[in-house]
């Protein structure tokens, strides 16, 4: 490729990314639908044969959305999420106004993951793929309800493989932990601390359960594959206190685990229920988040698809929606421009070099899908 063409591609990717940063898609208050509608126009201009924009109401009533485009009968899918986290504290520039320097593009979502959207669109300027689907989807940063809705549609029929875009520093993620969040509630009757010796103590009950859960995590420190041992048991918070001289009428405990691929999550939940029952105070358990682990089934196929653009295939330290696609029967891999260290951080950025690499990689993938 000539230097002038590469420079043109890079410039177009930077310009598109700068525009996409201006769409406020922070989850859950942002407008995912507006960006999806804009991306539908971009895909139509690049010859997509079928395009559908879908709003997905989430359980908290906030709006989610996706846009799906098909070239032929898709067997391979490219997926990028359009939403971002809220802007973290510490930004020294406007998170929603791209700042472009000689080597970086700053802005919320630049790395996670609007840079990948821009790179795919520039690659589509170069190649008209066959049998490819493109899904730009929301709600990745919260509950994955948008992708959950997508995999229940007819669009998933025939799709065998997927590239899920996350900032992986040009590595390919082939497996990662799941994440399961829990809450326990216990009730008392509350009252003056002068009678505390003879009253239920919800905070103490939750503290006892917290220690038992921590012990459970320690018992599993050697569980899992060699590069992913342990449960990452995180006892996160005990809530319910009122004042130093008040016995609260209830308390809650929150914790999470990140099980490795192959872990028996049902057995883990049973063990946690037994720990709660052992305290004997009528503790109620809730399970608000249950994202399963992920493992790619056919790494060799992706090695061929990605060519020489990715040399390192290995585990990821963070959860992705590859697990949702895998559970739906679609084999997946995770790769994209940017560094996860920038994701969710103040002054998030992606480098021009990474954007150019991503344009090259996606152009190669589209060519492969056009054979």
Which positions are catalytic? 140
- 195, exposed or middle or buried, with CB in 10 Å at 0-12, 13-18, 19+? exposed
CA dist., res. 177 & res. 107, Å (int): 28
- 139, exposed or middle or buried, with CB in 10 Å at 0-12, 13-18, 19+? buried
What SS3 state is found at 63? strand
Pairing of strands 191-192, 250-257: unpaired
Q: What SS3 string covers 118-149? A: HHHHHHHHHCCCCCEEEEEECCCCCCCHHHHH
Cα four-point dihedral sign 19, 344, 40, 43: positive
Q: Does a cis peptide bond (omega within 30 degrees of 0) precede residue 28?
A: yes
Q: Which residues contact 193 (CB under 8 A, 6 or more apart)?
A: 244, 245, 246, 247
């Amino acid at each position: 490729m000539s230097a002038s063409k590469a420079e043109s591609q890079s410039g177009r990717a930077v310009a598109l990314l700068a525009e996409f940063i201006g769409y406020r898609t922070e989850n859950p208050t942002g407008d995912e639908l507006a960006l999806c509608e804009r991306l539908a126009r971009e895909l139509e201009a690049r010859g997509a044969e079928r395009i559908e924009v879908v709003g997905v109401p989430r359980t908290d009533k906030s709006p989610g959305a996706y846009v799906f485009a098909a070239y032929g009968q898709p067997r391979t899918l490219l997926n990028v999420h359009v939403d971002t986290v809220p802007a973290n504290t510490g930004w020294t520039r406007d998170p929603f106004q791209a700042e472009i320097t000689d080597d970086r593009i700053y802005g919320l979502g630049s790395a996670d993951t609007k840079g990948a959207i821009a790179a795919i669109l520039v690659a589509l300027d170069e190649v008209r793929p066959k049998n490819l689907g493109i899904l730009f989807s929301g709600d990745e940063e919260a509950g994955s309800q948008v992708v959950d809705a997508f995999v229940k549609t007819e669009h998933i029929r025939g799709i065998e493989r997927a590239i899920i875009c996350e900032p992986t520093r040009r590595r390919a993620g082939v497996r990662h932990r799941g994440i399961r969040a829990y809450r326990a509630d216990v009730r008392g009757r509350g009252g003056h601390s002068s009678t505390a010796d003879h009253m239920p103590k919800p905070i103490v009950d939750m503290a006892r359960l917290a220690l038992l859960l921590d012990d459970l995590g320690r018992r599993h420190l050697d569980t899992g594959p060699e590069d992913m041992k342990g449960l990452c048991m995180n006892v996160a918070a005990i809530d319910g206190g009122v004042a130093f001289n008040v016995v609260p009428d209830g308390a809650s405990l929150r914790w999470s685990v990140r099980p490795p691929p192959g872990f028996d999550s049902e057995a883990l939940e049973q063990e946690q229920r037994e720990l709660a029952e052992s305290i004997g105070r009528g503790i109620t358990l809730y399970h608000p988040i249950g994202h399963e682990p992920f493992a790619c089934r056919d790494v060799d196929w992706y090695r061929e698809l990605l060519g020489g653009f990715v040399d390192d295939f290995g585990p990821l330290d963070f959860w992705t929606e590859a697990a949702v696609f895998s559970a739906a029967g679609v084999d997946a891999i995770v790769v994209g421009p940017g560094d996860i260290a920038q994701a969710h951080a103040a002054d998030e950025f992606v480098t021009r070099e990474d954007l150019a690499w991503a344009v090259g990689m996606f152009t190669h993938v589209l060519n492969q899908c056009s054979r």
